[in-house]
Amino acid sequence: MTATVLSRSALDGAPPARGMDDADAAAVAQGTPIIRLRGVTKVYGQGQAAFQALKGVDLDIDSGDFVAVMGPSGSGKSTVMNLLGCLDTPTSGEYRFRGLHVERLSRDQRARLRRQYLGFVFQGFNLLARTSAQENVELPLLYRGQRTAERHRAAREALASVGLAGWEHHTPAELSGGQQQRVAIARALVTSPAVLLADEPTGNLDTQRSREIMDLLCTLNRERGITVLMVTHESDMAAYAKRVVHFVDGRVDSDWRQNSAPRIDAGRGDT
């Protein structure tokens, strides 16, 4: 079987990915990672003020994996996540997404790749305060120009998938922290991304809500085949991942597989 790769032309109106699709399945069969970094560096500033945030990073991410990215402050983990999310570009080296050289793309092409294939979840939720849960979830589809009826249907389905059916018309102020993060996850899911990038998704939550969010991410990874990359400082949250990549001083210091599968033990309540 020949692995299907993403082409530049596909970014001009590519259909949204849906978890692990045929392209990813072919890539898995061939052992080709959905994400590959080779010799990636990132330098901020110039001259004596230059700071090298990444120092030749090599990293492969298989489709359907769940990877926790850890490391102390300033280790490069957030920088590499920004590169993977097409929010920044490497100074040198290769970044391939489904075989496509991302570092060679134009700004508009990177934006299309981001909209079509990537979903984002942030520590601070980043919800619009005066809009309903459904309207927040619809935003990525609005940017795509989808019709109103299609947006409404997709947003309701996404909210239901994270346990928030019946909460569509509540504003963030009427939701708990855990519920707000569920809305943020639904917003990331509404475009059916191939990869979900989560930056400290439990950082603003208590222990119980954190466990519920992690169980939800595990379920999405297991049942939908969505590749999850999560930055976290918390080892107990990293324990939910299948693999842990640890950064130190701009380099991958260690990379290991967890001994046990992610646990699924919390229900999807409306807490």
d(CA 188, CA 137): 8
Instruction: Confirm if 174 and 221 have CB atoms less than 8 A apart.
Output: no
Mean pLDDT for the chain overall: 87
Give the pLDDT confidence of 171-180 residue by residue, as tens digits. 999 999 999 9
Q: What is the mean pLDDT of residues 89-97?
A: 97
Instruction: Look at residue 22 in the predicted model and tell me its pLDDT.
Output: 55
φ, ψ at 36 (rounded to 5°): -140, 125
Q: For position 163, which CATH number holds?
A: 3.40.50.300
Q: Which residue has the tokens 């849906």?
A: 18
Question: Does residue 70 lie within any of the structural domains?
Answer: yes
Lowest mean pLDDT among 7-11, 32-36, 164-168, 189-193: 7-11
Tell me whether residue 271 is in a domain. no
Q: How far is CA 67 from the centre of its chain?
A: 10
**pLDDT at res. 23:** 53
Angle between helices 133-144 and 148-161 (to 10 degrees): 130
pLDDT at position 244 over 80: yes
Q: Which of 51, 39, 41, 35 is nearest to 84 (CA)?
A: 35
Q: Tell me how far apart the alpha carbons of residues 266 and 82 are, in angstroms, rounded to a whole number.
A: 30
Convert the pLDDT of each residue in 7-53 to its tens digit. 666 666 544 444 445 555 555 455 689 999 999 999 999 998 999 99
Which of 92, 87, 101 lies closest to 57 in space, CA to CA?
A: 92
Total domain count, the chain? 1
Q: Mean pLDDT, to the nearest integer, of 171-193?
A: 94
Res 219 pLDDT > 80:
yes
Residue 266: inside a domain = no
The whole-number pLDDT of residue 4 equals 47
What is the rounded distance in angstroms from the CA atom of residue 42 to the CA atom of residue 91? 5
In a domain, 202, yes or no: yes
* Percentage of residues of the chain with pLDDT beyond 90: 75
Q: Is the pTM above the cut of 0.95? A: no
In a domain, 166, yes or no: yes
Is the pLDDT at 60 greater than 90? The verdict is: yes
Q: Is the pLDDT of residue 268 over 60?
A: no
Give, in order, the Cα–Cα distances in Å from 39 to each of 5, 13, 60, 98, 253: 21, 30, 12, 17, 14
Q: How is 188-251 classified by DSSP, letter by letter?
A: HHTT--SEEEEESTTTTS-HHHHHHHHHHHHHHHHHH--EEEEE-S-HHHHTTSSEEEEEETTE
Beta carbons of 176 and 271 less than 8 angstroms apart: yes
Q: Is residue 104 part of a domain?
A: yes
Q: How far apart are CA 71 and CA 235, in angstroms?
A: 10
95 located within any domain: yes
Domain that holds residue 229: 34-257
Give the dihedral sign, CA 171/174/177/179.
negative
pLDDT > 70: percent of the chain:
84
Q: Using 50, 70 and 90 to split pLDDT, how confident is the model at 189? A: very high
Q: DSSP readout, 76-126?
A: SHHHHHHHHTTSS--SEEEEEETTEEGGGS-HHHHHHHHHHHEEEEETT--
Distances (CA, A) of 121 to 9, 56, 70, 198, 260: 28, 27, 16, 5, 25
Q: What is the mean pLDDT of residues 142-166?
A: 93
For residue 14, the model assigns a pLDDT of: 47
Establish if 40 belongs to a structural domain: yes
pLDDT confidence of residue 124: 84
| Cα torsion 173, 177, 182, 185: sign | positive
